[in-house]
Structure 1
Amino acid sequence: MDRNIRSVDDVLSLLDGLFAPGADRWTADGADWWDGFYADRSRPVPFFVAKPDENLVSYLDRGLIVPGRALDLGCGPGRNALHLASLGFEVDAVDLSPTALDWARDRAREAGADIRFHHGDAFALAASGALGGPYDLVYDSGCFHHLPPHRRISYLGLLERSLAPGGHLGLTCFAAGAMGSELSDAEHYRRGGLGGGLAYDPESLRRIFAGLEERELRRMHDEPEEAPHFGEAFLWTALFRRPADAPTGPVRLGTA
């Protein structure tokens, strides 16, 4: 008889299991899927390029964020982590996929960049203290929209533990009407998958991150292939700031 639910973590793990193996699973199954995705470095995947996000470059150029400690969530081949390190950030970068991290380490060695790479579930790593922090910047380019709805709780928990007062969350995610599934959260549990990733609109992002101050929320600029930065118009870009007077320790980031 299976009667093992005793904690919120047990509930989250149970819900993870409702999704078919693949990119939608925040588990070892998900790591296996992403390993296969990153295995061929020559694939014509837009974000395989060795370029930072145009919005991240813009935040830095305009002084909206300044060098400090940074955490790159779902770093993939490390393109944004390398850019941050080149500008003097102290960078931790985490990914589920060992194959992606091998590629990121190769790029870091070629660039002479000092980045601490971590393999595993960022939520578990943050909860265990294995990551550093607090961070002045938590940056997420394309991880958030691959999370099943219940893992937003884990995401907010990571920010509560890891984002310093006055620190920033930088985010890119699928834009409703342009990319990603627009089905309801409940329907995704009925179907057992995310349809390749969840689409968001500005109001849903503002509601989820209501405990943070919005600094900028816009569509990513579409960058041509020859541009020095990555940009695809099917993504939202967002920059949120944790209030400078936020208490140390956990706060209710998901509520106003």
Structure 2
Amino acid sequence: MTIDLNSRYGLNPAHSEVVEACKIIEPCDTLDMGCSNGRNALYLGQLGFNVTAIDINPSAIDTLQRIIEQEGINNIKAQVLDINSASLGNGEAQKYGFISCTVTLMFINPANVDAIIADMHKRTLPGGYNLIVCAMSTEEHPCPVPFPFTLNTGQLPEAYAGWELIKYNEDVGTMHNGANLQFATMLARKPS
């Protein structure tokens, strides 16, 4: 039985969509975009995924790095990276079997989102998966939070044309602070 590291260190549980995705995705090289203090990375690492966890916030990465060191974890690498650069690595950087981007895109400069998604495509191995959960703002459900970026209806399926959509919905959900928001949730598989 694995120890619940998230509880041990006072972190929120892994995102429910990450937990669901792990029911069909075998452990592989994984990128956790906008990892914050590592709630998803720690969950994935305990399941045997090799995780590169990136976030723009140095103190969040320091927190995750301390947990990695205290627990002697060797399959999670934490690094400070500004996703706004639209580059998930340098040159012929690593490719991943799974890229997770949950509640991260809405904090990105809107001018960079298309390039970031294009880089996610490029960095995904054939047959690999991308998971995106992002706030939306629609006529029926205007976003009550002033995020820099929100998705439009149908925007993600368009960006992933040619990929197999394993899951896609645009449902209203509740954020941890109680706000009701519409979210686009997509798990897509790149053609082999």
Scaled to the shorter chain, the TM-score interval is: 0.7 to 0.9
Select the residue among 136, 145, 151 that pairs with 1:175.
136
Q: Which amino acid in 1 is paired with 2:189? A: R
Query: Secondary structure of the equivalent of 1:128?
Result: coil
* CA displacement at 1:172 relative to structure 2: 1.0
* Alignment match, 1:103: 63
Q: Deviations over 1:90-128 (max 9, x none)?
A: 110111110111122233334443311121224465352
Q: Deviations over 1:138-196 (max 9, x none)?
A: 00112212223321232133224311011100111113316367xxxxxxxxxxxxx32
* Alignment match, 1:163: 124
CA distance in 1 between partners of 2:61 and 2:176 (Å): 27
TM-score, reference length from structure 1: 0.59
* Alignment match, 1:94: 54
* Alignment match, 1:148: 109
TM-aligned CA distance change 1:220 to 1:55, over 3 Å: farther
Q: Is the 8 A contact 2:87 2:119 kept in 1?
A: no
CA distance in 2 between partners of 1:97 and 1:103 (Å): 10
Q: Deviations over 1:33-76 (max 9, x none)?
A: xxxxxxxxxxxxxxx84310111111222x2x111010011111
Percent sequence identity is: 23
Structure (1/2) with the larger helix percentage: 1
Aligned residues: 175
Larger Rg: 1
User: Is 1:56 aligned to 2:4, yes or no?
Assistant: no
User: Is 1:235 aligned to 2:183, yes or no?
Assistant: yes
* CA displacement at 1:203 relative to structure 2: 0.8
Q: Is the 8 A contact 1:73 1:95 kept in 2?
A: yes
* Alignment match, 1:187: none
* Alignment match, 1:121: 82
Cα RMSD, aligned residues only: 2.9
Q: Is the 8 A contact 1:180 1:198 kept in 2?
A: no
Q: Which amino acid in 2 is paired with 1:138? A: I
TM-score, reference length from structure 2: 0.77
Structure (1/2) with the larger strand percentage: 2
CA distance in 2 between partners of 1:137 and 1:234 (Å): 24
CA distance in 2 between partners of 1:126 and 1:93 (Å): 11
Query: Secondary structure of the equivalent of 1:101?
Result: helix
User: Is 1:217 aligned to 2:165, yes or no?
Assistant: no
